Amino acid sequence: MDKWFAHTLQERQSNSSGKASGKGSSNSSTTEQRAKRPRIDSSASLVALTVAIGALSLETARKERLHSGGLFRTCLIPPQEFFNDPLQVSQSSNGADQSLDSVLNWTSLVLAVSQASLPQSALEAQKLLQQHAASSHDITALRDSVLLCRIVKNFDGKFLKILLWTDESLHTFC
Work out how many domains the chain is built from and give that number: 1
The mean of the pLDDT values for the chain is 78
Nearest to 125 by CA among 135, 114, 117, 116: 114
Tens digits of per-residue pLDDT, 5-57?
455 556 655 655 555 555 555 555 555 677 777 666 677 778 888 889 999 99
Task: Decide: pTM greater than 0.75.
Answer: no
Tell me the residue length of the chain: 174
Is the residue at 45 inside a domain?
no
Identify residue 58 by its one-letter amino acid code. L
Statement: residue 72 has pLDDT above 60:
yes
Note down the domain range covering 137: 58-173
CA distance 33 to 171: 61
